[in-house]
Structure 1
Amino acid sequence: MSPAASSASAPPIRLGTRRSALAMTQSGHVARALEEVSGRRVELVPIVSEGDTNRASLSQLGGTGVFATRLREALLAGECDLLVHSLKDLPTAQPDGLVIAANPVRADARDVVLTREGTPLADLAPGARIGTGSPRRMAQVLRANADVELHDLRGNVESRMQRVIDGELSAIVLAAAGLDRLDARTPLRLEHRDLDAWPTAAGQGALAVETRADADPELAAALRQLDDPRTRFAVTVERTVLAGIEAGCHAPVGVHARIEDDELRVQAVVYGLRGERVVEWESRERVDTRVTGWGYIRDTGSGNGADAADGVDQIDHARDIGSDVARRLLERGAADLVSRESPS
């Protein structure tokens, strides 16, 4: 039997995903890419997480891992073959038996402020009602405009935008990547926040494709083709910073790393909950830009595999950079500003 016929007759690859419109959309993007490289059909397996059914604030739910735990249980139980997560929602500790097999090309990592009239955040009137459920965004909003009122916000993108359209809220803060992936059409005006002054959550704009460490070699090889080495390097730096200061993925921490030409730039800020104090560090370092040859699928015990020694060395280098940034932040008092969370 030819390889093409074998692929065509193989059972579909089962991709586990949350049921939200955004999760289904981004999982659909990965499914189509995986079908193209594997020659097999990919079917979505919707899974309900606690974060989808419990309407409490993310901080009350515990933040870290609230959207991932049930999905990972399903993967380990064999209910699906892989998962697609928003990387910013994943705890930094990787569970035993699972690996992040690919980080596809990162989307826009910026935050966006949405208003009816297009008034910049800094110019909104005293008492303006700003909706966000993120402690980091709350602190950043108050640093931009200390006179506004913050309102905890949950729900899907459409319902959040409707609260501004209806006048219940003056503005909301969302991830640009989510709006782009949904191709969301809205009458609201968008103000993109600059990443240097407003770094976002570790891994924001990036996806994590997760599978079992003992995944079928053909599936592992197909997932390897979805990985973008520059994205993986940058988000490894960011998540190492988060782990190094022992902050959860919903702590008031902004960190963004990007490679421009042959230079890696890292901007990291830890905020007081009301934005009253910040600890920050900026790092610039020359890096080898020949990263397109890296591969990352062999399990190394940390959840990030590698196909060759160069890949291992490069990811180790990314971790070293992130650890150094975390150390600098801690030396400046970051531990006093973050609520320490146990890995989940």
Structure 2
Amino acid sequence: MRKIVVGSRQSSLALTQTQQVIEHLQRICEDEGIEAEFEIKKIVTKGDRILDVTLSKVGGKGLFVKEIEQAMLNGEIDIAVHSMKDMPSELPEGLVIGAVPVREDPRDCLVARDGLTFAELPQQAKVGTSSLRRSSQLLSARPDLRIEWIRGNIDTRLRKLEEEGFDAIVLAAAGLRRMGWESRISDILSPENCIPAVGQGALGLECREDDEEVRRLLSLYNDRATELAVTAERAFLRRLNGGCQIPLGAYAEIVGEEKGQPILKLISMVGTRDGNRLLKCERMGSDPQQLGLEAAEQLIAQGADEILHEVRGS
């Protein structure tokens, strides 16, 4: 029997989604007659250790994945369960994404102390987020808001909402749903109004390229529609050389079919920190890599490079 060690960050959300992944893989093993047992290995990442500054100031890519990937390259783990939005656009040599399961809700959501919607927030409301992408879009829609950074896992942020005088915080809806806390959501921000982070709501199951057993197992868990959408988003990210410290977002979904090929719609954005300048693009196509590249080039033509250079230099 193959023992498969699954690496995970140690936050309650990371462990919850890792356990959910293992339960799905166990069902696949039963259906396919595959003999395997699973074990979780908790790993602390740089992004988990540094909590006293915003992500944009920590710098670098892969803040929540590098240590996990190193453990895999060292042979300490066989599968890593990542939130896809944490994954850099380029993977280390020898590692591959073996599966992208069905996506959870990709949208951002508002958790307001008084249960208010975004439109109902009072003037000068104090709103917490650690994301430049979110703050850019929120300020573009509501320049009156006071955006203040807030770090920590979901439970920490929910506690800070109550204890630190925030009127509301903005989180990924997927995390709250995976934890069974959707009742805390006071408003959902549509992708048209707040374009999500690349890969938001999706998981990436990473493994070693030469581990054929694990790759076969993971291939049975892959969702093709989610894979295509995330591929387009990550192609956009790769062209703009972005990371969590850059205010950009992209969201793709299948909207139809042509000659047997799925047609994707990709919406994307790049904005300034203060929301004074917000560039958006909407494109459709059947080749996800090409679609992501074209969207990035369109925003570059509008001045995205200038914005990103300014953000990186500040």
Normalising by structure 2, we get a TM-score of 0.91
Residue of structure 1 aligned with 2:24, choices 2, 15, 33: 33
Residue 32 of structure 2 corresponds to: none
Aligned partner of 2:204: which letter? Answer: A
Residue 130 of structure 1 corresponds to: 127
The answer on whether the counterparts of 2:109 and 2:185 sit within 8 Å (CA) in structure 1 is no
Query: Where do 5+ consecutive residues of structure 2 fail to align?
Result: 30-34, 258-262
Residue of structure 1 aligned with 2:4, choices 8, 13, 19: 13
Residue 243 of structure 2 corresponds to: 248
1:52 Cα deviation from its structure 2 partner: 1.2
Residue of structure 2 aligned with 1:60, choices 57, 60, 68: 57
The answer on whether the counterparts of 2:284 and 2:291 sit within 8 Å (CA) in structure 1 is no
Residue 309 of structure 1 corresponds to: none
Aligned pairs, number: 301
SS of 1:36's equivalent?
A: helix
1:340 Cα deviation from its structure 2 partner: 8.6
The answer on whether the counterparts of 2:138 and 2:194 sit within 8 Å (CA) in structure 1 is no
Residue 202 of structure 1 corresponds to: 198
Residue of structure 1 aligned with 2:76, choices 75, 79, 88: 79
Residue 89 of structure 2 corresponds to: 92
1:69 Cα deviation from its structure 2 partner: 0.7
Residue 302 of structure 2 corresponds to: 332
**Relative to 1, partners in 2 of residues 1:341 and 1:85: Cα closer, same or farther, differing over 3 Å?**
farther
Aligned partner of 1:117: which letter? Answer: D
The answer on whether the counterparts of 1:87 and 1:204 sit within 8 Å (CA) in structure 2 is yes
Residue 161 of structure 1 corresponds to: 158
How many angstroms apart in 2 are the aligned matches of 1:279 and 1:45?
A: 41
> Relative to total residues, which structure has the larger strand share, 1 or 2?
2
* Greater CA drift, 245-254 or 139-148: 245-254
Q: How does 1:92-241 map onto structure 2 within 5 Å? A: 92-166=89-163, 168-184=165-181, 188-215=184-211, 217-241=212-236
How many angstroms apart in 1 are the aligned matches of 2:141 and 2:159?
A: 24
1:45 Cα deviation from its structure 2 partner: 0.6
Residue 322 of structure 1 corresponds to: 292
Query: Where do 5+ consecutive residues of structure 1 fail to align?
Result: 1-9, 288-316
The answer on whether the counterparts of 1:246 and 1:340 sit within 8 Å (CA) in structure 2 is no
Residue 7 of structure 1 corresponds to: none
Residue 313 of structure 1 corresponds to: none
How many angstroms apart in 1 are the aligned matches of 2:244 and 2:291?
A: 19
The answer on whether the counterparts of 1:132 and 1:172 sit within 8 Å (CA) in structure 2 is yes
1:125 Cα deviation from its structure 2 partner: 2.1
1:269 Cα deviation from its structure 2 partner: 1.1
1:265 Cα deviation from its structure 2 partner: 1.2
1:118 Cα deviation from its structure 2 partner: 2.7
1:167 Cα deviation from its structure 2 partner: 6.0
How many angstroms apart in 2 are the aligned matches of 1:58 and 1:228?
A: 30
